[in-house]
Amino acid sequence: MSSFGLVSSQTQYLLTNVLASKRFTSKYMKENQKRLRKRKEMLVSGLKKSGIECLKSNVGLFCWVDMRHLLSSNTLDAETKLWNQMVYDVGLNISPGSSFHCSEPGWFRVCFANMSRGTPQVAMRRIKDFVECSNFMGRIKMSYQQNMSSLSRKLLSNWVRKLYSPNPDEHEH
């Protein structure tokens, strides 16, 4: 069925008859709950392996995913940047929490109800690769900043010694 068009009267009639069957709806609901539970468990455990936690829940069609640690800063702009990376670079359509009036940046809503059978594995692999790459780039950036900070302190110390030394030429290297 389409979200953008009307449902034909024949389809409405057929669905009315199908859903009127208590036997069918009972089996359908049990199977649907089983599939949703399995997809949710796959999503939550896959995200956990990548270092991403979800809010605990019993039922639903989506999970609230905590990706605050992947933000470059604790701002809505950083959340939007991360969302763009997830959509355009990683290829996953997740929803930023700010779209649902979440007051804290870094929370995302991931719908698992509409995933086909193989989609969770593909999604988890992509997220894992993204997180590993982000962590690697973060370590490189941190190492660079530490090295630059150390170098800056060393240069500053040498400069201060030269300023206060009776013979500035003796500190030249």
Contact 97, 78 (CB under 8 A): no
The first and second tokens of residue 56, run together, are 């605990």
Say which residue, 47 or 168, is predicted with more confidence.
47
* 83-124 tens-digit pLDDT: 999 898 888 889 999 999 999 999 999 998 888 878 888 888
Q: Taking the domains of the chain in order of start, what are their residue ranges?
A: 38-166
The two structure tokens encoding residue 167: 């013979």
- Cα–Cα distance for residue pair 65/72, rounded to 1 Å: 17
Is residue 134 exposed (0-12), middle (13-18) or buried (19+ Cβ within 10 Å)? middle
- What is 38-166's CATH superfamily? Aspartate Aminotransferase, domain 1 (3.90.1150.10)
Q: Which 3 state secondary structure label does DSSP give 54?
A: strand
Of 60, 28, 31, 29, the closest CA to residue 43 belongs to 60
Instruction: Output 133 or 47, whichever has higher pLDDT.
Output: 47
Residue 95, beta-bridge partner list: 109
Query: Which tokens is 119 given?
Result: 């989609």
